[in-house]
Amino acid sequence: GQNIDQPTEMTATEGAIVQINCTYQTSGFNGLFWYQQHAGEAPTFLSYNVLDGLEEKGRFSSFLSRSKGYSYLLLKELQMKDSASYLCVYYASGGSYIPTFGRGTSLIVHP
């Protein structure tokens, strides 16, 4: 994860909107993924971007700019259950496209 940078922790209020940024450095880019991980549980897939632009999936949207090595995850209408760690992941090239994880952003949603 040393080539992925995302904030360590963020806080937000229930019902609000929060944007979690991620910057990365890699050659042979093959997609940028976002995962959600609740404490003590395995990560679960949220969304991915291959091309530049915005992908929307319900309350979650993800944006990618390949030229800038930048992505963000946008969470709308925050709920308490959204309190979790959000992991930015890119696939490293080299034949097997290994998922490479950032350290994650711990999001705390307050009532």
CB of residue 102 vs other proteins: minimum separation in angstroms?
A: 6
What is the spatial distance between Cα 85 and Cα 67, in angstroms, rounded to a whole number?
A: 26
Contact 30/97 with Cβ under 8 angstroms?
yes
Of 73, 91, 107, 109, the one binding other proteins (CB under 8 A) is 91
Q: Which of 5, 21, 23, 50 lies at the binding interface for other proteins (CB under 8 A)? A: 50
Residue 13 and residue 76 in contact, taking contact as beta carbons nearer than 8 Å: no
Comparing CB distances to other proteins, the nearer of 45 and 59 is 45
Q: Which of 24, 43, 63, 69 binds other proteins (CB under 8 A)?
A: 43
Q: Does 96 bind other proteins (CB under 8 A)?
A: yes
According to DSSP, the β-strands at 105-110 and 9-13 are parallel
The radius of gyration of the chain from alpha carbons, rounded to an integer in Å, stands at 13
Binding site for other proteins (CB under 8 A): 1, 30-31, 33, 40-45, 48, 50, 87, 89, 91, 95-104
